[in-house]
Amino acid sequence: MEGAVRVQILSQMGISEVPSQYIQPPENRPKSETNNITGLSCRNVPAIDLSCEKESVLAAIQDACREWGAFHVINHGVPTKLMDDLRRVCLSFFNDFPMEEKLKYACHPNSAASEGYGSRMLVSSENGTVLDWRDYFDHHTLPLSRRNPSSWPHFPPEYRALTADYSDEMKALAQRLLALMSESLGIKASCMEDVIGEFYQNITASYYPPCPRPDLTLGLQSHSDIGAITLLIQDDVGGLQVLKDGEWLLVDPLPNGILVLVADQTEIITNGKYKTCVHRAVTNANKARLSIATFHDPAKTVRISPAPDLVSQDSPPRYSSVVYGDYLSSWYSNGPEGKRNLDTLLLDTSK
Ligand SMILES: O=C(O)CCC(=O)C(=O)O
Ligand SMILES: [Fe+2]
């Protein structure tokens, strides 16, 4: 159940230990050097300049999607001011609203993925899931029939209009990126979007308050995103990590960059050529962190399967097809750990 506890309250209480529900088992705890947000890797996710010549963009996208399942884009056309303004108003919701005002927007306690202010990725933690050190605000933004700005924060006054503008910009960028990803695989530009159909888009602002025990907790547990493509912006604090070749690597915030995360349905549609990105967020003891993720998913009724143009006798389907709504239900009942939900669809192609 989504109780009234938000981690921001725990953080503000100035506790020196965290309640036991937030303590990760030893194998999931961040290694101590990964808490040092300046000290980690020299291997950063690739940055791709979308204003470069098309052939080089396609080659870079292909490399990034095969190797990382993640890349930054720059010169992407989304106004910097809009990104900055949205970060500012989202932060203001968490920092400047009194808690009783914030709780007026609380997520529905018993339904998964309901819109609003919450703290838990899963409805219940009966399956032993450790709680994340994160509060969030989830907005349902597309299709327009789901968009109801009156359920979003009413303050600062520009909050709702900015969120709507940002939603439209992200949709356009996601369409552009799916077209480039398709072309980078040598298939027609519309191929991936044809399988996905109309976008179901959610925007989630995640707020990670300072945590007294970054060595024992996670801001957000290891997972891959469920839908097709996620576009993420963050502030300059840092804390997002991607799993690459068995190692957790910090994603250095790139000012004005947008991080693209390949999500599960894209791995299926590309028949495994492009990999979903396993990622998580660590906490830190000193500074609150904000990220804003925009998820683009198929409708629940859409059947997802490898794109016909990527399947042949030499390259048989590697995933069984799945109705997206069924995939979602199993994700919410099994939990997000790693990419195990996707792995259940893997076919044995060795025969
Ligand atoms: O806070 C972050 O950087 C990651 C957020 C994320 O992975 C998610 O909301 O799915
Ligand atoms: Fe994610």
Q: Looking at residue 58, which CATH number applies to its domain?
A: 2.60.120.330
Index of the ligand 1 atom closest to the CA of residue 293:
9
Distance CA 260, CA 293 (A): 10
Residues near 220 by beta carbon (within 8 Å), at least 6 away in sequence: 121, 132, 134, 206, 208, 280, 281
- Low-confidence winner among 97-111, 285-299, 315-329 (lowest mean pLDDT): 97-111
Q: 292 is written with which tokens?
A: 């804003």
pTM of the model: 0.95
Residue 348 falls inside a structural domain: no
The structural domain count of the chain equals 1
Give the pLDDT band of residue 341 (cuts 50, 70, 90). confident
- Domain of 51? 8-343
Q: 33 is written with which tokens?
A: 């050097």
Give the pLDDT band of residue 349 (cuts 50, 70, 90). confident
pLDDT score recorded for residue 126? 55
Residue 232 falls inside a structural domain: yes
Name the residue with the closest Cα to ligand 1, atom 1.
291
- Low-confidence winner among 40-54, 109-123, 240-254, 306-320 (lowest mean pLDDT): 109-123
Does residue 148 register a pLDDT over 80?
yes
Report how far ligand 1's centroid is from the alpha carbon of 13 (Å).
25
Residue 351 falls inside a structural domain: no
Report how far ligand 2's centroid is from the alpha carbon of 30 (Å).
17
Q: Which SS3 state, helix, strand or coil, does residue 251 take? A: coil
- At residue 202's C-alpha, the angle toward residues 197 and 203, to 5°, is 140
Does residue 162 register a pLDDT over 90?
yes
State the sign of the Cα–Cα–Cα–Cα dihedral 184, 322, 174, 190: positive
Index of the ligand 1 atom closest to the CA of residue 295:
10
Index of the ligand 1 atom closest to the CA of residue 291:
1
ipTM of the complex: 0.99
pLDDT score recorded for residue 36? 46
Residue 349 falls inside a structural domain: no
Q: Which residue has the higher pLDDT, 326 or 128?
A: 326
Report how far ligand 1's centroid is from the alpha carbon of 186 (Å).
30
- The residues facing 220 across adjacent strands are 281
Residues near 253 by beta carbon (within 8 Å), at least 6 away in sequence: 234, 235, 236, 237, 238
Does residue 150 register a pLDDT over 90?
yes
Q: Mean per-residue pLDDT for 52-60?
A: 98
Name the residue with the closest Cα to ligand 1, atom 9.
293
Report how far ligand 2's centroid is from the alpha carbon of 295 (Å).
9
Q: Mean per-residue pLDDT for 74-87?
A: 98
Distance CA 237, CA 154 (A): 26
Task: Give 206-250 pLDDT, tens digit per residue.
Answer: 999 999 999 999 999 999 999 999 999 999 999 999 999 999 999
Residue 275 falls inside a structural domain: yes
Residue 1 falls inside a structural domain: no
Residue 267 falls inside a structural domain: yes
Name the residue with the closest Cα to ligand 1, atom 10.
225
Task: Give 309-329 pLDDT, tens digit per residue.
Answer: 999 999 999 999 999 999 999
CA distances from 192 to 19, 73, 181, 240, 287 (A): 44, 19, 8, 27, 39
pLDDT score recorded for residue 194? 94
- Low-confidence winner among 56-60, 104-108, 187-191, 269-273 (lowest mean pLDDT): 104-108
pLDDT score recorded for residue 171? 98
Residue 350 falls inside a structural domain: no
Residue 163: burial class (beta carbons within 10 Å; 0-12, 13-18, 19+): buried
Protein residues whose CB sits closer than 6 Å to any atom of ligand 1: 204, 206, 220, 225, 232, 234, 240, 279, 281, 291, 293
* DSSP code for 274: S
Does residue 56 register a pLDDT over 80?
yes
Index of the ligand 1 atom closest to the CA of residue 261:
7
